[in-house]
Amino acid sequence: MQHGLWLIILGSFLCTACMGKGNNDGSPKSFSTTPSTVFLVSKSSSFQSGLSIINDHLYLRADDGSRDELSHNNASSLWISKGTVEETSLIRDFSPDSFGQPKAFRDKAILATGSYVNDFGDLANATELWLSDGTDSGTELLFSNFLRAADQLIVTPENVFFSATSNDLEDGLWKTDGTRAGTNMFYVFEDNPNNNTVGAMVAIGNRLFFQFGASLWLSDGTAEGTHLFFDTTGNSRTIAVFGDHLVFTVENGRNESLWLSDGSVEGSIELKSFAASVFGKISRIVSTGGRLFFRADDGEHGQELWVSDGTPEGTQLVKDIFLGEGSANPDTLVAGESHVFFFADDGVHGRELWISDGTEAGTSLVKDISVGSSSSDPNENASISVETSSLPLAAALESKLWFAADDGENGVELWISDGTALGTTLVQDIAIGATSSSPHHFHAGTSHVFFQATAANGTTGLWVGR
């Protein structure tokens, strides 16, 4: 069998193979020469979720169909693409192991390999750490002495942090500076009677913030600089970065609160408290333009869009989109240059695309894509699979949003918006007619947006919009 990935460059957004008119084996038959969109497809249709854009190159986990008994979960080849046939190539086959999502570190890709990857790109048992410059010869093993390593690589300017269990059965924090000598465990959780584990981790500058049991910790990469800084006395479900501060939620059974912290007890303040009995939690946290956007329910307006400037006084409801106690349920929040795109239901137009600059006057419906009370949001429609519905369905490139939507005629397809009704249009009906191509796994670089979609002939591939 011939190895490799198929690359189709589309001009005028037309591809006969995508319409089911390709070769008998489902491979591409012809393409135009004006590059408007790039479409990558493997014969086995096994593109995975381990996608990352590093220096405007796409690193992806894929299966070229060259091995027998392939399943959706065992693609183990690392590929790189710049969006052209000549610049799309296999870096290395890690089989029988697979790997999680590569991360960018000093212009290279760092990744953990292990024995199992689920549909969302997670490793159940990562055992090795690798660094790659995009070539096979430049892909080197940094460390392999793990009993278990978490597939959560947190990148700072100086190091990459992760938690792992050594072969000596010690649970702790590790770091690497991109060299074998600089890869080591620097903190061991010795006093751990409750068998707590490291939860979510984020980086602010060169500091690591992470959840450990019900507490929040920080680390500067040394044993002496690793310590608890906030005991939530409850459950901290979410942590996120807001400028040079940490944002986190605390739930104690009575209330759920949003907090802001500089990494010290005295520098931690409560921004807003919501009754925990209200259906729905603080979620969908994104930041842009010096403002923090999130979804919450204050018990009066349902689940709506909120905003914060980092002060209790500046934390407030943006707009009661679904008037009264009903919920607009804003979702798929994507940060633009100074605004946020999201899908919401105002009770009249169904779930449609909205835009907000953080003010009530600057929050509006972009376009009623599926005219009337029906919804264009793919998460609202049965035409998109359960598996796909939890994946990234939009990405912002410069001032425009690339997203999946259903206008009621063409199925779930690729759309683009500049935040105005006139500038919100269908890009391409990839699966012609009412059949959905269900674009998902959107990833934005500096000049491209990569996404996966399924053509009319059933071939799933990777597209590049520019």
Higher-confidence residue: 168 or 372? 372
Model confidence pLDDT, tens digit, residues 66-112: 554 433 344 578 888 876 667 778 899 887 677 778 899 999 999 98
Say what the pTM is. 0.84
Contact present, 260 and 313 (Cβ < 8 Å): no
pLDDT for the residue 147: 66
Which tokens go with 244? 């040079």
- The yes-or-no verdict on residue 436 having pLDDT over 60 is yes
pLDDT for the residue 171: 83
**Distance between CA atoms of 400 and 57, rounded to whole angstroms?**
20
Contact present, 406 and 378 (Cβ < 8 Å): yes
**Distance between CA atoms of 167 and 335, rounded to whole angstroms?**
42
Contact present, 208 and 223 (Cβ < 8 Å): no
Among positive and negative, which fits the CA dihedral 374, 376, 379, 382?
Answer: positive
Tracing tokens 């000549």 back to the chain, one arrives at 86
Model confidence pLDDT, tens digit, residues 322-374: 998 889 999 999 999 899 999 999 999 999 999 999 999 999 999 999 999 99
Q: What is the mean pLDDT of the chain?
A: 80
Model confidence pLDDT, tens digit, residues 240-283: 999 999 999 998 878 889 999 999 989 999 999 998 755 557 99
| Helix, strand, coil fractions of the chain, as percent rounded to 5 | 0, 45, 50
- According to DSSP, residue 388 is labeled H
Going by C-alpha positions, the residue among 398, 426, 390 that lies closest to residue 339 is 398
**Distance between CA atoms of 210 and 101, rounded to whole angstroms?**
19
Amino acid identity at 3: H
The domain segmentation of the chain, as residue ranges, is 279-430
Which residues contact residue 382 at a Cβ distance below 8 angstroms, ignoring those fewer than 6 apart? none
- The yes-or-no verdict on residue 431 having pLDDT over 60 is yes
Residues above pLDDT 90, as percent of the chain? 48
Give me the DSSP letters along 155-192: E-SS-EEEEEEETT--EEEEEE-SSSTTEEEEEE----
Model confidence pLDDT, tens digit, residues 126-164: 578 999 999 999 999 998 877 666 668 999 999 999 998
**Distance between CA atoms of 116 and 148, rounded to whole angstroms?**
12
- The yes-or-no verdict on residue 35 having pLDDT over 60 is no
Instruction: Return contacts of 416-420, CB within 8 angstroms, 24+ apart.
Output: 416/465, 417/341, 417/353, 417/366, 417/367, 419/336, 419/339, 419/341, 419/355, 419/366, 420/366
Contact present, 411 and 431 (Cβ < 8 Å): yes
Which tokens go with 199? 């939860």
Q: Which helix (H) or strand (E) holds 387?
A: helix 386-389
Which residues contact residue 262 at a Cβ distance below 8 angstroms, ignoring those fewer than 6 apart? 244, 245, 246, 268
**Distance between CA atoms of 250 and 253, rounded to whole angstroms?**
10
| Residue 51 confidence class, pLDDT cut points 50, 70, 90 | confident
Model confidence pLDDT, tens digit, residues 274-322: 987 555 579 999 999 999 999 999 988 999 999 999 999 999 999 999 9
| Residue 25 confidence class, pLDDT cut points 50, 70, 90 | very low
Higher-confidence residue: 120 or 439? 439
